[in-house]
Amino acid sequence: MDLLVFVLLLILTGIAAGLLGSLTGLGGAVVVIPVLIVGFGATFPVAAGAGLITILATSSTTGSAYVRDQLTDLRIGMFFEIATVPGAILGATATVLLTHANLNAALSVALGIVLLGILPGSVRRRHEELPEGVVPDRRSKSLGLYGEYRDPVTGRSVRYEAADTNSALGVMFGAGVISGMFGIGAGIFKVLALDHYLRLPMKVSTSTSNFMMGVTAAAGAGVLLAAGYVNPFVAAPAAMGTALGAYVGSRVLPGLTNRSVRLIVVPVVAALAIETILRGLGLP
Amino acid sequence: MTDPEPVSPGAAEPDVRLPLAAYRRMAFVLRSGLVASLLLLAGGIAEYFAHHPGATAQAILATNPIAGYLSLSGLARGIGRGSSEALLTLGVLVLVATPIVRVVSGFYYFQRGGERTMATITLLVFVLLLFGLLVFGPFVK
């Protein structure tokens, strides 16, 4: 395939990835990696390296908009990076050192099951615009894990606070491991941890997930760069397209209701969970 | 029109400890890093096309063009001679560095606001990031 055509197709793929990633908090690597492998015959390491760069582009693009609008919770995002960063370093190391196929397959199945296990809670709250009955734990109170944003949909200020930080810390560490291992942002886990355990409004969950993902990706980047997994000719067009798609998404998200965002996120997460299980089982 | 009452799921107080400037500065850091990186990546791609008009995707996918430019001296030499691979590598490195600079920025604001716990956590994240990038990465390789 001619390189110019390849670059243009990758930019288009990136636009789709950035748009979806910015709205759902999933980063976008979940789109770029399969397209590279199935559509362009790239090896998994090259696709994972490009996925990593895609995440960084989505995170910085959406971060610059959502942080400015205070839709991203800086305090919560930066606190939970203490769990995702060591997880990502561990995961990236495992990718390079461990090549046991059964381990990856078993992990994929386990992850898919965990995701499917968390999903029903999110589905049950599909009519809920804002979390109700949130009881902050001691850590949440002592660290001030609460915030406020102005919702352009209602024109009102929305206050929120974080609940179960212990469970969220565990899921965030797992998200870091997955991020490092598979070259994805593991935004699925971050969004669900922020939504399901911390009980943040959905828009805050997706924007904070995207914000955190940049740091998680940067943590795994050292290992993947040194191992030669990042091919800039693949990563560059993907990053350029992703930034454009994420920019469009970052203009759209604030105008959506939390319910609408959940309606976008849940089916995508369900599809990814099933795909992860099937891949782990070696089924098409 | 009167300003409506805040909608609150609980009894939280608004976060007054992180100043608005912190949000603006961090947004600026992320935007600047992204724009610089995208310019370098676009420049690298354009430079490559200018010198390799008949290149194919298969040839690109089979190479690891970044390998020679991961050291500071290699990168500087490559930039000096206008290598497209060096420009692309620098673009990737700027993109990786952007969230790290954001973490440093967060540390500054937490420290300045007297929030010792959050400042310590942010500093620890920064140290772990450096460890992953500069020590663990090359070691695992």
In a domain, B110, yes or no: yes
B2 pLDDT more than 60: no
Instruction: Show residues of chain A in contact with B89, CB under 8 Å.
Output: 232
Measure B113 CA to nearest chain A CA, in Å. Answer: 13
Chain B from 86 to 105: CB within 8 A of any A CB: 88-89, 91-92, 95-100, 102-103
Interface test with B, best of A22, A55, A233, A258 (most B CBs within 10 A): A233
Count of domains observed in chain B: 1
Instruction: Show residues of chain A in contact with B62, CB under 8 Å.
Output: none
Every domain of chain A and the residues it spans: 3-280
The 10s digit of each residue's pLDDT in B79-106 is 898 888 899 999 999 999 999 999 999 9
Question: What local confidence, expressed as pLDDT, does residue A82 receive?
Answer: 93
- Cβ contact (<8 Å) for A46 and B128? no
Chain B from 37 to 76: CB within 8 A of any A CB: 37-38, 41-42, 44-45, 48-49, 52, 55-61, 63-67, 70
Distances (CA, A) of B89 to A137, A202, A228, B123: 44, 36, 12, 27
B14 pLDDT more than 70: no
The reply to whether B80 touches chain A by the CB within 8 Å rule is no
**Mean per-residue pLDDT over chain A, rounded:** 85
Closest CA to A233 of A24, A42, A19: A42
Instruction: Show residues of chain A in contact with B65, CB under 8 Å.
Output: 231-233
In a domain, B94, yes or no: yes
Q: Any idea how long chain A is?
A: 284
Tell me how far apart the alpha carbons of residues A81 and A71 are, in angstroms, rounded to a whole number. Answer: 18
The reply to whether B79 touches chain A by the CB within 8 Å rule is no
- Cβ contact (<8 Å) for B137 and A67? no
Residue type, A275: E
CB of A165 closer than 8 Å to CB of A137: yes
Query: How many Cβ atoms from other residues are within 10 Å of residue A25's Cβ?
Result: 31
The 10s digit of each residue's pLDDT in B16-69 is 467 788 888 889 999 999 999 999 999 999 988 888 877 787 777 777 777 778
In a domain, B11, yes or no: no
In a domain, B7, yes or no: no
Tell me how far apart the alpha carbons of residues A84 and B103 are, in angstroms, rounded to a whole number. Answer: 14
The reply to whether B124 touches chain A by the CB within 8 Å rule is yes
Instruction: Show residues of chain B in contact with A218, CB under 8 Å.
Output: 96-97, 99-100, 129, 132-133
The reply to whether B25 touches chain A by the CB within 8 Å rule is no
- Identify the residue whose tokens are 């040839």: B59
- Cβ contact (<8 Å) for A3 and B24? no
Question: What local confidence, expressed as pLDDT, does residue A102 receive?
Answer: 65
Question: Tokens representing A227?
Answer: 């191992």
- Identify the residue whose tokens are 């400042």: B119
Tell me how far apart the alpha carbons of residues B63 and B31 are, in angstroms, rounded to a whole number. Answer: 31
Measure B79 CA to nearest chain A CA, in Å. Answer: 15
In a domain, B47, yes or no: yes
CB of A68 closer than 8 Å to CB of A150: no
Question: What local confidence, expressed as pLDDT, does residue B140 receive?
Answer: 61
Q: What is the pTM of this model?
A: 0.84
What is the domain range of residue B126?
Answer: 20-140
**Pairs across A and B, CB distance < 8 A:** 262
Question: What local confidence, expressed as pLDDT, does residue B97 receive?
Answer: 93
- Cβ contact (<8 Å) for B57 and A217? no
- Cβ contact (<8 Å) for A225 and B70? yes
Instruction: Show residues of chain A in contact with B117, CB under 8 Å.
Output: 142-143
**CB-hemisphere CA count at 13 Å for A280?**
18
- Residue ranges in chain A modelled with pLDDT below 70: 95-96, 98-104, 183-184, 284
- Cβ contact (<8 Å) for B136 and A93? yes
